Amino acid sequence: MAGTIRQIAQLAGVSRGTVDRALNRRGRISPEVAERIWKIAEELDYHPGQKRRVSEESKTQEIRIGVITQMAESSFMIQIHQGIRDIERELKERGVALCVRDLISVNEEEQLKAIEELDQKNIAALAIMPVESEGVRRRLNRLTEERNIPVVTFNSDIVGTGRSCFVGLDNRKSGSTAAGLMGMLTRGAGKILIITGSFTNSVNGLRVEGFVDEVKRSFPGMELLGVQSSSGDSKEVEQIIVSTMEREPDLAGIFVACMGQSGVSAAFDRMKPGKRPYVIVYDLTLENVEALKKGYFDFVLDQEGYMQGYRAVRRLYEYLIRRRELQPEMMFTDIKIITRYNLP
């Protein structure tokens, strides 16, 4: 059950009148007090004037928020989809509908088509995992500049657009974190293989940049064997690792910045090394949990996919209904370091 003004006032230590002014942005009130009130209201799921505004607008036109994902069948997307489904159920009760387009690949043309379809449905806002391309960039700018439609990116970002906010992992920092972990595992020495994915997804590039920069800065004794590109397919990842281990039997570490992590386990099963290289991958999927338990991986970096899907849509809803500004520009989720010993 949603909270009340009285409950908010008690928790914030202010009068009900102060709460009313803060939530409805009337009168004079200090920014610190206003922020405290808004935070408590959000925790209690209180929405000022929400029912009145939604019912009035729904008489003329349903409020629609568009959502576009990519790589929809990938295991790491399960958490993101769950977050989207949960916020969809919440908003449905409040007269707001989600128009979701789950794209299978990372494809510019497919994404442009999806954006056009949602634009034709008169969406009031858009949450999107963008493909890094000039065509998508131009189309998003048309939405924000010509149609005045707020856009929030999540999981992946795109520069040079009028998007209001990004919700997701600080991927460059996560890459730096991975390098630090690899440095501790290898004691700052040895040959390291980096495997990345599609260049049309900015996530992979940022992770690799963060990893490489941190190695150069902090671990001069580590030798990077270059960056091997894959489509994120496990068979490709397997073959890259097998080929590298055949050439470099003393390989010390493997950093996989993309999907296809099960290829690591398959490669080790094929090569049967006496001492396997240290391995760091992303995303707490069921497959990766099993690989951790069986000793194929050392660390999994989780990016809180559920919160990415949930928060991206929630922020747009708060902007449309509560007129809460889409700030901060970068809403980073936590970088969670998971081992076989602290599995949730």
What is residue 240's predicted lDDT score, i.e. its pLDDT?
Answer: 97
Residue 145 identity: E
Q: What pLDDT was estimated at residue 55?
A: 44
Q: Which pLDDT tens digits describe the chain residue by residue (344 residues)?
A: 457 888 888 888 888 888 887 877 666 677 678 778 887 887 777 766 544 444 444 444 679 999 999 989 888 899 999 999 999 999 998 889 999 999 998 899 999 999 999 999 999 999 999 999 999 999 999 999 999 999 999 999 998 999 999 999 999 999 999 999 999 999 999 999 999 987 667 788 999 999 999 999 999 999 999 899 888 789 999 999 999 999 999 999 999 999 999 999 999 999 999 999 999 999 999 999 999 999 999 999 999 999 999 999 999 999 998 777 777 789 999 999 999 999 98
User: Cα separation of 193 and 208, whole Å?
Assistant: 11
Please, which residues have CB within 8 angstroms of residue 215's CB and are 6 or more apart in sequence? 179, 182, 183, 192, 222, 224
The torsion region of residue 69 among left (phi > 0), alpha (psi -120 to 50) and beta comes to: beta
8 Å CB contact between 255 and 182: yes
**What pLDDT is attached to residue 152?**
97
d(CA 316, CA 91): 11
User: According to the model, what pLDDT value does residue 268 have?
Assistant: 97
Residue 300's closest CA among 342, 240, 329, 241?
342
Distance CA 296, CA 279 (A): 7
Local structure of 58: helix, strand or coil? helix
Token code pair at residue 308 = 């990415």
Judge whether 69 and 81 are in contact, CB under 8 Å: yes
Q: Where are the beta strands (DSSP E) in the chain?
A: 63-69, 96-102, 125-128, 151-154, 165-169, 190-196, 222-229, 251-256, 278-282, 299-302, 330-333, 336-338
Neighbours of 210 (CB within 10 A): 21
Closest listed residue to residue 317, CA positions, set 79, 123, 27? 123
Dist CA 166 CA 185 (whole Å): 32
